[in-house]
């Protein structure tokens, strides 16, 4: 066994925190229009605090035509009226802080809505002063009838869109109504950095950066190389038969990550952080963090979204993330978000596996990001494609139905409505998401709402919610779990069934060790605890028990049980 990496100095708060993602449209509707809103979120903050969450990430609530439900912003400084007012936003930030929690806002820097005043100006004439705020090019010669080059959007198909009025093409990395800003124009960069400063001044403790990997494109507009890969994957961002060499993960974007970090670091006390939505292998994504950790503080590592739920696969995942993100870098663990299949899909809809996943996520070294509703074990919710609200569903309707489960197992969701159902709070009208007299909710309720809701699971010591809470609270109390180094252990039982690791924290005043044993099987697995240091008074916390027990001799892990043995 190699010597355990020990963390000796205090870590910044954002490395030790736990993050809960709220999709405002789907969390809680106070005004009764069937759409979630900011006052609704305020009403539910006590729940989030009770759960043991330390940081809340809010998906965008800024002014927007809502063609992509807030990821198409038309005014970065205003709140969409359906979500509330600026005053509600300030109150929300204050109420989060008053409960001792932090708040992360979602910054869509890459593009705006096509209804943003800048784009309306930009598209109006070739010589408009805002023309160069976006990326405009002539079509390919001789007739100009073909797009400027072969670049595909992140969704497949050309990302160039012809504008008849000025007979040029504009670039959009995502959907056509989300034109990319031109960061090579310094006015754009300055304006967006000032917008970032604005929200940090308003009290944001962290920022999540939407498709940050697409910010800079090749300045010479060279064609992307061809590839044989049809489906984008973590190792090959791009897909659709080309490598996204000139459209994603550009060296200038790595440099911009450092510029942005410098802006965020202008704000201290408390310190702030940025987490990037970026796609690529862990080794590539490390580049965003900068050569000396002076870039993005964190990046989402989405590989976890398609890791099979097996002991060895999780061990390999941790090995890979640990070697790509050694201290002072810090990994993240994500199993769902508002774009991805519900995590239960990969857990065979088994609640016991969900309780084990919570144990893993809250005990591993890395920031856990928990998507609302996953703490209830909500299953994948299939919805008819023709009634979809998500613009992607329309775009992908040609994909045959039989392929959808395979794509979902790879972490790809073609109708994102399916992971955005209203949060089920209780078994009554509208599952408590909206007042009883509200009209229909913006998306149908999850079919499990009557039983899989907060009220029912709060009472149940065996529920998924109770396991999440146990593990979040344990992590919150334990320096080893929240701030310790990590070492993978040779498991005391079959390595195909049990995954084990150790976390150690040490500073001048404290020392704490945790050993974690996760039983990834439907069989009982005995573990031997006799080798623990004699002097230690070790306690064993299980995801299945309320109170700790003395950790001595042999412990038999029940099927899918996760146990944490802690000592000082």
Interface of this chain with ligand GLC, residues 357 to 396, rule: CB under 6 A: none
DSSP 36: -
Give min distance, CB of 277 to ligand GLC, in A: 6
How far is residue 255's CA from residue 259's CA, in Å, rounded to a whole number?
7
Pairing of strands 62-63, 75-79: antiparallel
- Nearest to 179, CA basis, from 240, 118, 250, 106: 118
Give least dist CB 312 to ligand GLC, A. 30
Say whether residue 61 binds ligand GLC (CB under 6 A). no
Q: What angle do CA 312, 314, 316 make, to 5 degrees?
A: 70
| Distance (Å) of CA 516 to CA 144, 363, 489, 502, 565 | 62, 7, 9, 6, 6
| CA 417/CA 340 separation, integer angstroms | 10
Pairing outcome for strands 160-163 and 206-209: unpaired
Task: Please say which residue, 25 or 346, places its beta carbon nearer to ligand GLC.
Answer: 25
Residue 180: phi, psi to the nearest 5? -75, 140
Residues between 506 and 525 that touch ligand GLC (CB under 6 A): none
Residues 269-288 binding ligand GLC (CB under 6 A) are: 277
Which residue, among 481, 455, 464, has the nearest Cα to 543 in the 3D structure? 464
Q: 354-392: buried (b, 16+ CB within 10 Å) or exposed (e) per residue? A: bbbbbbbbbbbbbbbbbbbbbbbbbbbbebebeebbbbb
Three-state secondary structure call for residue 433: coil
Helix axes 464-477, 351-363, angle to 10 degrees: 10
For ligand GLC, the binding residues in 145-174 under the rule CB under 6 A are 174
Q: How far is the CB of 494 from ligand GLC (least distance, A)?
A: 39
Binding flag, residue 418, ligand GLC (CB under 6 A): no
Is 338 near ligand GLC (CB under 6 A)? yes
Q: Where are the alpha helices (DSSP H) in 325-381?
A: 351-363
Cβ-contact 219, 184 below 8 angstroms: yes
Cβ distance to ligand GLC smaller for residue 179 or 366: 179
- Tell the smallest beta-carbon distance from residue 367 to ligand GLC (Å): 17
If the CB atoms of residues 38 and 108 are measured against ligand GLC, the closer one turns out to be 108
Q: What's the CA gap between 229 and 241, in Å, rounded?
A: 5
Number of residues that bind ligand GLC (CB under 6 A): 10
Residues 6+ apart with CB under 8 A from 300: 275, 276, 277, 278, 332, 334, 369
Which of 37, 339, 375, 418 contacts ligand GLC by CB under 6 A? 339
Q: Which of 13, 23, 57, 71 is in the footprint of ligand GLC by CB under 6 A? A: 71
CB of 152 to ligand GLC, least distance (A): 15
Q: Is 108 in the site for ligand GLC (CB under 6 A)?
A: yes
Integer Cα distance of 368 and 482 in angstroms: 10
Q: Are 21 and 503 in contact (CB under 8 A)?
A: no
Binding track over 523-562 against ligand GLC, x by CB under 6 A? ----------------------------------------
Q: Are strands 19-22 and 367-371 parallel, antiparallel or unpaired?
A: parallel
Nearer residue to ligand GLC within complex by CB, 108 or 301: 108
Catalytic residue among 266, 268, 269, 546: 266
Least distance to ligand GLC, CB of residue 419, Å: 10
Cα gap 136→63, rounded to integer Å: 25
Of 390 and 506, CB closest to ligand GLC: 390
| Residue from 22, 106, 25 nearest 71 by CA | 106
Our finding on whether 114 is near ligand GLC (CB under 6 A) is no
Task: Restricting to residues 202-261, name those near ligand GLC by CB under 6 A.
Answer: 210-211
Minimum CB separation of residue 522 from ligand GLC in Å reads 35
- If the CB atoms of residues 63 and 277 are measured against ligand GLC, the closer one turns out to be 277
* Minimum distance of ligand GLC from residue 177's CB (angstroms): 10
State yes or no: is 121 an active-site residue. no
C-beta closer to ligand GLC: residue 301 or 454: 301
Q: Are strands 549-550 and 539-542 parallel, antiparallel or unpaired?
A: antiparallel
- Smallest distance from ligand GLC to CB 121, Å: 21
Q: Is 382 labeled as catalytic in the residue annotation?
A: no
- The nearer residue to ligand GLC, 64 or 449, going by C-beta atoms, is 64
Check 63, 72, 210, 515 and give the catalytic one: 210
| CB of 338 or CB of 555, closer to ligand GLC | 338
Counting contacts by CB under 6 A, is residue 68 touching ligand GLC? yes
Which residues would be at the binding site for ligand GLC (CB under 6 A)?
A: 68, 71, 108, 174, 178, 210-211, 277, 338-339
Active site residue ranges: 210, 266
């Amino acid at each position: 066994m190699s010597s355990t990496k020990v963390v000796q100095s205090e870590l910044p708060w954002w490395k030790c925190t736990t993050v809960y993602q709220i999709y405002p449209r789907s969390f809680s509707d106070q005004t009764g229009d069937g759409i979630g809103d900011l006052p609704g979120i305020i009403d539910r903050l006590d729940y989030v605090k009770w759960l043991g969450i330390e940081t809340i990430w809010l998906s965008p609530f800024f002014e927007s035509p809502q063609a992509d439900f807030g990821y198409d912003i038309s005014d970065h400084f205003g709140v969409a009226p359906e979500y509330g007012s600026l005053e509600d936003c300030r109150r929300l930030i204050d109420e989060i802080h008053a409960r001792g929690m932090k708040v992360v806002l979602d910054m869509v820097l890459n593009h705006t809505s096509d209804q943003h005043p800048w784009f309306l100006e930009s598209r109006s004439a070739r010589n408009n002063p805002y023309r160069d705020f976006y990326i405009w090019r002539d079509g390919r010669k001789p007739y100009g009838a073909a797009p400027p080059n072969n670049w595909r959007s992140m969704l497949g198909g050309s990302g160039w869109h012809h504008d008849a009025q000025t007979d040029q093409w504009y670039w959009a990395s995502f959907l056509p109504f989300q034109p990319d800003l031109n960061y090579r124009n310094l006015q754009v960069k300055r304006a967006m950095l000032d917008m970032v400063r604005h929200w940090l001044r308003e009290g944001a403790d962290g920022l999540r950066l939407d498709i940050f990997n697409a910010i800079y494109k090749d300045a010479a507009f060279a064609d992307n190389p061809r590839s044989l890969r049809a489906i984008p994957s973590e190792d090959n961002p791009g897909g659709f038969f080309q490598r996204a060499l000139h459209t994603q993960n550009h060296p200038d974007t790595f440099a911009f990550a450092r510029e942005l970090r410098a802006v965020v670091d202008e704000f201290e006390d408390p310190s702030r952080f940025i987490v990037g939505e970026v796609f690529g292998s862990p080794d590539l994504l490390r580049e965003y963090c900068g050569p000396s950790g002076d870039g993005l503080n964190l990046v989402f590592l989405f590989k976890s979204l398609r890791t099979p739920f097996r002991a060895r696969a999780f061990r390999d995942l941790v090995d890979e993330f640990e070697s790509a993100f050694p201290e002072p870098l810090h990994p993240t663990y994500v199993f769902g978000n508002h774009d991805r299949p519900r995590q239960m899909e990969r857990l065979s809809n088994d609640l016991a596996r969900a309780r084990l996943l919570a144990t893993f996520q809250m005990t591993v070294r890395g920031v856990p990001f928990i998507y609302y509703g996953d703490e209830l074990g909500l299953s994948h919710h299939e919805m008819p494609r023709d009634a979809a609200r998500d613009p992607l569903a329309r775009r992908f309707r040609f994909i045959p139905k039989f392929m959808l489960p395979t794509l979902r197992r790879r972490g790809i969701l073609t109708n994102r409505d399916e992971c955005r159902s209203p949060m089920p709070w209780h078994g009554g009208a509208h599952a408590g998401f909206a007042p009883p007299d509200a009209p229909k909710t913006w998306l149908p309720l999850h079919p499990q709402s009557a039983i899989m809701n907060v009220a029912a699971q709060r009472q149940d010591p065996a529920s998924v919610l109770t396991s999440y809470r146990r593990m979040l609270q344990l992590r919150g109390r334990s320096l080893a779990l929240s701030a310790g180094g990590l070492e993978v252990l040779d498991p005391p039982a079959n390595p195909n069934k049990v995954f084990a690791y150790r976390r150690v924290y040490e500073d001048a005043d404290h020392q704490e060790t945790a050993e974690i044993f996760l039983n990834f099987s439907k069989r009982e697995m005995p573990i031997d605890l006799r080798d623990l240091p004699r002097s230690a008074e070790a306690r064993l916390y299980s995801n299945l028990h309320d109170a700790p027990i003395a950790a001595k001799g042999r412990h038999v892990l029940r099927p899918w049980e996760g146990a944490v043995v802690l000592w000082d």
